[in-house]
């Protein structure tokens, strides 16, 4: 197994005044190129903290993140993030939001016309080219998230980080967007790391599911391979035994062995 993205003994301790909380403890994970990996766990277990550490938005207390064997500890477009609440800049149009990243990443390697074409190409990938001149408050939540995905993809990240990307969407929009992400992954072969708390979503989309124990001092409890062939079809999988078995495993982990205890 060739490690593309490697999390090496990551600990994270938050200190507020005299009180310290150990959020993450000894996180080790290697991800291959082109893999789709989900991290699942109950809320408050430090999933988002872990993603922020990989993105470089937060520093690890000890340990580090290696991308292609080089340590990364500051944010950058090689680890583009799709944020949970889309985080589009409301004063820019859809086109300008995507262009913000493109202009920065390809300022030297692409001409102005090429950058424009690249922005439109990525908006086309998420089927949002028709809304290029709309502002974020003029489009629906699902559309905003699509633009968020386009913005991240347009930076040609080595790893695409999805922070509960479908969490704020209604069920139908969510399913639709999951299919889109699956199709994009199939087409572009990105390495994707997704945070989620939705078991079906994790099984449907991932090659591997990383299950985290409850915090404080959350660890990786179990890693499950999902040996389902791609492309995967939502309807066919509903009765697929492998799918159901995987789902069962994750559910058992989350609700039996590591049941969420309020204010634990």
Partner 1 sequence: MNMPATKIEVETATPAASAAPVVAMTPKRPPRSEAYARMARETAVRVIPPLVVIALLTLVWELVCRRAGSALPPPSKVFKDTKELILDPFFDHGGIDKGLFWHLSASLQRVALGYSLSAIAGIALGVLVGQSVWAMRGLDPLFQVLRTIPPLAWLPLSLAAFRDGQPSAIFVIFITSIWPIIINTAVGIRNIPQDYRNVAAVVQLNPLEFFSKIMIPAAAPYIFTGLRIGIGLSWLAIVAAEMLIGGVGIGFFIWDAWNSSHISEIILALFYVGIVGFVLDRLIAGLGKFVTRGTATS
Nearest-approach distance from CB 101 to partner 1, in angstroms: 5
Could you give the CA distance from residue 264 to residue 262 in angstroms, rounded to a whole number? Answer: 5
List the one residue from 5, 23, 72, 101 that touches partner 1 (CB under 8 A).
Answer: 101
Handedness of CA 140, 141, 142, 145 (dihedral sign): positive
- Determine if 212 is a binding residue for partner 1 (CB under 8 A): no
- Which one of 2-10, 68-76, 110-118, 254-262 is the stretch in contact with partner 1 (CB under 8 A)? 68-76
- Determine if 56 is a binding residue for partner 1 (CB under 8 A): yes
Nearest-approach distance from CB 129 to partner 1, in angstroms: 20
Handedness of CA 44, 64, 54, 194 (dihedral sign): negative
List the one residue from 26, 43, 73, 90 that touches partner 1 (CB under 8 A).
Answer: 90
- Which one of 25-33, 130-138, 200-208, 233-241 is the stretch in contact with partner 1 (CB under 8 A)? 130-138
Convert residues 4-43 into a mask of x (bound to partner 1 by CB under 8 A) and - (unbound). Answer: ----------------------------------------
H-helix or E-strand containing 192? strand 191-196
- Determine if 132 is a binding residue for partner 1 (CB under 8 A): no
In 112-170, which residue ranges form alpha helices assigned H by DSSP? Answer: 112-125, 141-154
List the one residue from 92, 129, 228, 237 that touches partner 1 (CB under 8 A).
Answer: 92
Q: Which is nearer to partner 1, 119 or 202 (CB)?
A: 119
- Determine if 75 is a binding residue for partner 1 (CB under 8 A): yes
Half-sphere exposure of 59 (CA within 13 A, CB side): 5
Work out whether strand 191-196 and strand 19-31 pair parallel, antiparallel, or are unpaired. Answer: unpaired
- Determine if 168 is a binding residue for partner 1 (CB under 8 A): no
- Determine if 167 is a binding residue for partner 1 (CB under 8 A): no
- Determine if 77 is a binding residue for partner 1 (CB under 8 A): yes
Q: For residue 142, give Cα distances in angstroms to 83, 85, 87, 193, 240.
A: 13, 10, 13, 20, 28
Q: Please give the full DSSP string across 36-72, using - where no structure is assigned.
A: EEEEE--TTSSHHHHHHHHHTSS--SEEEEEETTEEE
List the one residue from 155, 169, 220, 246 that touches partner 1 (CB under 8 A).
Answer: 155
Could you give the CA distance from residue 239 to residue 182 in angstroms, rounded to a whole number? Answer: 19
Q: Helix %, strand %, coil % for the chain, to 5?
A: 40, 25, 35
List the one residue from 83, 95, 118, 243 that touches partner 1 (CB under 8 A).
Answer: 83
Question: What is residue 107's DSSP assignment?
Answer: T
Binding residues for partner 1, rule: CB under 8 A, are: 55-57, 74-77, 79-81, 83, 85, 87-92, 100-101, 104-105, 135-137, 144, 155
């Amino acid at each position: 197994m060739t490690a593309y993205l490697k999390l090496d003994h990551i600990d994270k301790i938050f200190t507020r005044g005299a009180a310290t909380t150990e959020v993450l403890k000894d996180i080790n994970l290697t991800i291959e190129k082109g893999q789709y990996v989900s991290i699942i766990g109950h809320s408050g277990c430090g999933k988002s903290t872990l993603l922020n550490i990989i993105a470089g938005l937060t520093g690890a207390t000890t340990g580090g993140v290696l991308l292609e064997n080089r340590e990364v500890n500051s944010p950058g477009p090689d680890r583009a993030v799709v944020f949970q609440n889309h985080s589009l800049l409301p004063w820019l149009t859809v086109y300008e939001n995507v262009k913000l990243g493109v202009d920065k990443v390809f300022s030297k390697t692409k001409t102005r016309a090429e950058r424009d074409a690249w922005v439109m190409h990525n908006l086309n990938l998420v089927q949002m080219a028709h809304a290029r001149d709309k502002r974020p408050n003029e489009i629906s939540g699902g559309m905003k998230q699509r633009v968020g995905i386009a913005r991240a993809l347009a930076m040609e990240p080595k790893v695409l980080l999805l922070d509960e990307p479908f969490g704020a969407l209604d069920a139908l929009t969510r399913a639709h967007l999951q299919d889109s992400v699956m199709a994009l992954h199939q087409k572009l072969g990105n390495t994707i790391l997704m945070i989620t708390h939705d078991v079906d979503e994790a099984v449907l989309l991932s090659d591997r599911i990383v299950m985290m124990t409850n915090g404080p001092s959350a660890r990786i409890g179990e890693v499950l391979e999902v040996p389902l062939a791609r492309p995967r079809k939502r309807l066919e999988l509903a009765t697929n035994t492998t799918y159901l078995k995987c789902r069962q495993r994750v559910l058992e982990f989350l609700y039996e062995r590591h049941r969420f205890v309020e204010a634990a």
